[in-house]
Amino acid sequence: MSGPPGSRPSEPRPLEPRWLVTATVVRWRRYGDLGREFRPGTKAYRGGARVYVVDTHPGAGHGQLTAVGHARRTGRWIAIDMGTRQLHTFRARLVYAPAVLRRCPGQVGATREEAEELAGLLERVAREERHAHHGAPHPDPCLCHECSPVTPG
């Protein structure tokens, strides 16, 4: 929309806040042969980082979703597809951040109740995926999210 020469471009319309599911990236994830090694966070996000779930992929696998958060190295907002097992403490939250809202497709998170229901479902799926992924007993001592004595806060 261009106006007469010399006029300022119109201001973008502010985005409406939405109810989305928020989660925390696991501090340590099991890695390698039978999950005996540990890596902090994920390749894209630091352990303990907050991410926003903007889409789920039921056809691409049981535990796949698109998460938006601050990148590990640059701190810029990124959106990546990742497994639910790498996240925990799913919860509903009213999101105002324009960087997150611009990356939301369609009607994701229309109501608080829908976001809370999705958060509960994703928490159960993530727990099951973490338990079943390596299929081997945890090493001793284990730093993974399931064995960590620190409760997420």
C-alpha distances in Å from residue 148, one per residue of 20, 26, 27, 61, 152 = 27, 10, 9, 27, 10
Q: How many residues does the chain have?
A: 153
Place of tokens 């928490």: 123
Asked whether 152 and 24 are in contact (CB, 8 A), the reply is yes
Q: Which residues contact 41 (CB under 8 A, 6 or more apart)?
A: 25, 26, 27, 29, 47, 48, 49, 72
pLDDT computed for residue 152 by the predictor: 45
Place of tokens 């976001």: 115
pLDDT tens-place string over residues 47-92: 889 999 988 876 555 578 899 999 999 989 999 998 888 898 999 9
Q: Give me the residue spans of the domains in the chain.
A: 18-133
